[in-house]
Amino acid sequence: MKITDVRTEVFRWPRAVPITNGLYTYTHSGINAIHVDTDEGLSGLGIGASMQDAPEVGAAMTNHLKQVLIGKDPLDTERHWHEMWRPKLVGRRGISTRVISGIDIALWDLKAKIAGMPLYKMLGGFSNKIDTYVAGGYYEEGKGLRELAAEMETNVDLGATAVKMKIGAVPINEDVERVRVVRETVGPNVKVMVDANNAYRHYQAIEFARKAEQYDLFWFEEPVEPDDYAGQREITRATSVPVAAGENEYTRYGFRDMIEHRAVDILQPDALIMGGVTEFMKVAALAQANDLDIAPHGAQEVHVHLVTAISNGLILEYYRDSVDHMHGQIYKDTLQIEDGRVYAPNRPGLGIELNYEALEPHRIA
């Protein structure tokens, strides 16, 4: 079997309501699909990191990188990753590594399809299910404490035993009050996470953490800039709340540095950003060797396979229609929460198929 083509599709749609985190407002959502085709008619599907605002850049990068792959055996994922990553075009991070990530995910989907097994089984099969949390709690126009509480109530009604909310866009005391409302809404037995999306300086993050500790937070995510390992370490030492980060980190080398600095308690690699399945599994092994847990960021359809394949998988992030009204329509089969967990699909590969009937009106490339 040989690779005959690598192609991209980009879909973009407006959110029903713009959402805001600690630093950024998002008016649109979408999906980048990367397909690796073969001469035997079998294709792999990769989900790429968001580049809806510049689809031509991602497409150009994909067209360049695919020259390394055409005519090659799709099973040689380690060789393909190495040859795409060296030499670098833009640097050791950024768009080029994101595109490599999507291609690598497609190659692993294809590899598992060839083997006739689910990806999580091929990667290790530690479990077929994983605890999950519902991500949300964004700032929105007209959304006050009552609306925030109603969102969290709905999350729990869906079966969630853990929820996450945003902080960092309003004064610290106001965010502490929002945390209080969420904790009182979900009760003492539901885990509550907070995510600042890099909005604080380290001393501000310490102030927030100390004021919010009384509400039994499961973790404090991305308190400071991704490269501020020293600041992350200071926060980790200053509070009893575990610190989590890594969604903006790249490759095994970035996570090696995070680990060496003992910057955080929980690692959050995103396979769509940091290098795909190939690099994710190396980071998981690094974390195992340092007794650290993995809680991947985003893309539940991909990460359910990766986090169930490993022994140090902690929890899966899950997005629902409160964040994106297209949830449940992007793929022909949608992951569901069952008793606080998500089960990995038992179909070959990632076990997902794009729902073109719903997506086609939103195609931009």
pLDDT in tens, 68-90: 999 999 999 999 999 999 876 66
Model confidence at 55, pLDDT cuts 50, 70, 90, reads confident
Q: Which two tokens stand for residue 284?
A: 């998981």
pLDDT of amino acid 86: 84
The average pLDDT across 263-273 equals 97
> Domains in the chain, ordered, with CATH?
3-116 (3.30.390.10), 121-343 (3.20.20.120)
Q: CB atoms < 10 A from the CB of 214, how many?
A: 11
Question: What are the counts of helices (DSSP H) followed by strands (DSSP E) for the chain?
Answer: 13, 12
Model confidence at 53, pLDDT cuts 50, 70, 90, reads low
The average pLDDT across 220-229 equals 97
Q: Write out pLDDT tens, residues 166-217.
A: 999 999 999 999 999 999 999 999 999 999 999 999 999 999 999 999 999 9
CB 58 within 8 A of CB 95: yes
Asked if the model's pLDDT at residue 326 lies above 80, the reply is yes
Provide the sign of the torsion angle of the four alpha carbons 220, 223, 229, 235, taken in this order.
Answer: negative
SS3 7: strand
Half-sphere exposure of 174 (CA within 13 A, CB side): 10
- The whole-model pTM stands at 0.96
The average pLDDT across 1-15 equals 95
For 237, counting Cβ atoms within 10 Å of its Cβ (0-12 exposed, 13-18 middle, 19+ buried), the class is exposed
